[in-house]
A = this chain, B = another copy of it.
Amino acid sequence: MVRLKKITMLIGGVAMAALLAACGNIGSSTGGGTTGTTTNQSGVQTTGQISKSEYAGVIKNGHYLTSNARGLTASTINNSFNLNSFEGGLLNISKQFYNPANYVFQEGQYLSSSTLRSWLGRKSKNNPEGLNPKDNGKKDNSRKPIYVQSIEEQDFMQKNGDNLSLKGITIGIAMNTVDYYQKEQYGATFQQSISKTAMQEYGNQVAEQVVQRLRKTHGISSDLPIVVAMYVQSQTDNLAGGTFYANTQTKTASIDKWNKLDIVNKVFPLIGASSKDFASNDSKSFQNFQSQVQNFFPTVADVTAQAQYQDEKIQGEHVTITTQFYSQTEISSFTNFVAQVAPKFLPSGVPVDITINSANGIQAFLSRDSNDRNFQSHIFTSY
């Protein structure tokens, strides 16, 4: 019923590009207030916090409490870039509503795989709960597209004696602007575009329905804060994931008002963009960096980046360099060189990460937090 997309259940995460973390999460482990990780094998503990900006997670009966819909998002979302940006971005949105200092993160427990699979399907006699439109039998652009691609639940808990109580939920809804479909099984893949307006209108209705259904779910009170975050997938051939375009929090069974988000991902070097593009200066700086690095070795290195903008201001950059190394000393020298060049050309005041790969995988990486001038580096080696 639900059309499962191509990517493997085993989470892609990094894929070929091994792109680096958005949130500058190199943080010293502070131990945090919540420790847990005790030897007590029954009841509930937490993983502990690695820093005050990261959630502790829930350990139950000695194991991590995995999602009741474990792997569903990985099996429904279009590619590993979307998977990364949807799941990672959703957690960042949650942090704005539920402070990691006061809340414990729990993988979604209220919506099961089977519930979500029926919600993500088309509405039909056999699937009255389907959130996608009824099949009108058409096989061309007059068909009704699949608007809703994936739904993910996150729970936020607080300590209540020896137990944890549910204090908030976040629901991420991943929408399509392009629906990929086959006219016949194993046939060619066709694309059906969905206008931004149509997607948003449909998404708002879906969000209302999801909130109403959650209010009727056992264990979820009528005034529990529910955050809903609307995400639009990027197209499958894009080298960056999609973005969140709206969010809201409700303590009732309906949604009053949406916060619009103006978030855009760019891939550098920009191809064919006008000089009026708000990212064009950053792209030019990136191209200067690229030309410094590209010809370091006799063989040319591949140098690309993802940048994220909110309200047309850059939020961070993930740079990926892939080249051929012939010795450990070449890796050291190249990493040194990149650390010298990067501060001159890459954006300052925002987190920047650089992964250095060979055909055999990651060899080194560098990163800089928003407040630093210099890059930290790490070269992967072994005894």
A contact residues vs B (CB 8 Å cutoff): 9-15, 17-23, 25-31, 35-37, 47-50, 54-57, 59, 62-64, 66-67, 70-71, 73-74, 80-81, 83-85, 87-88, 91, 105, 107, 152, 154, 240-241, 265, 292, 295-298, 306-308, 316, 318, 324-337, 339-341, 343, 355, 358-363, 365, 367, 372, 374-383
- Give chain B residues whose Cβ lies under 8 Å from the Cβ of A337: 37, 47-48, 57, 59, 64
Q: Is the CB of A378 within 8 A of B339?
A: no
Contact of A14 among B25, B355, B361, B375 (CB under 8 A): B361
The answer on a CB contact under 8 Å between B382 and A17 is yes
Cβ of A14 and Cβ of B382 under 8 Å apart? yes
Indicate whether A54 sits within 8 Å of B383 (C-beta atoms), given known contacts A107-B330, A360-B11, A361-B361. Answer: no
21 pairs, CB–CB < 8 Å, chain A vs chain B: A11-B325, A11-B331, A17-B382, A19-B382, A20-B380, A21-B378, A28-B374, A28-B376, A29-B340, A29-B375, A29-B377, A56-B336, A63-B295, A66-B298, A81-B383, A84-B382, A88-B328, A107-B329, A306-B383, A362-B362, A367-B378
Copies in the complex: 2
Closest to A12 in B: B360
Q: Are A381 and B19 in contact (CB under 8 A)?
A: yes
Q: Which residues on the B side are within 8 Å of A15 (C-beta)?
A: 360-361
Whether the Cβ atoms of B84 and A240 lie closer than 8 Å is no
- Check B18 against A362 for contact (C-beta < 8 Å): yes
Closest 7 CB pairs of A and B: A19-B382, A57-B333, A87-B328, A48-B340, A47-B337, A29-B374, A29-B339
A382's contact among B64, B318, B381, by CB below 8 Å, is which? B318
Which residues of chain B have C-beta atoms less than 8 A from A70's C-beta? 326-327
User: Closest CB-CB distance, A357 to chain B, in whole Å?
Assistant: 9
Given A50-B339, A55-B332, A292-B37; A381-B20 close (CB under 8 Å): yes
A330 to B57, alpha carbons, bound, how many Å? 9
> Do the beta carbons of A336 and B27 come within 8 Å of each other?
no
Known interface pairs A361-B18, A362-B361. Does A374 touch B330 (Cβ–Cβ under 8 Å)?
A: no
Please determine whether A340 and B57 come into contact, CB atoms closer than 8 angstroms: no
Residues in B with CB closer than 8 Å to A383 are: 19, 22, 81, 84-85, 240-241, 265, 306-308, 316, 318
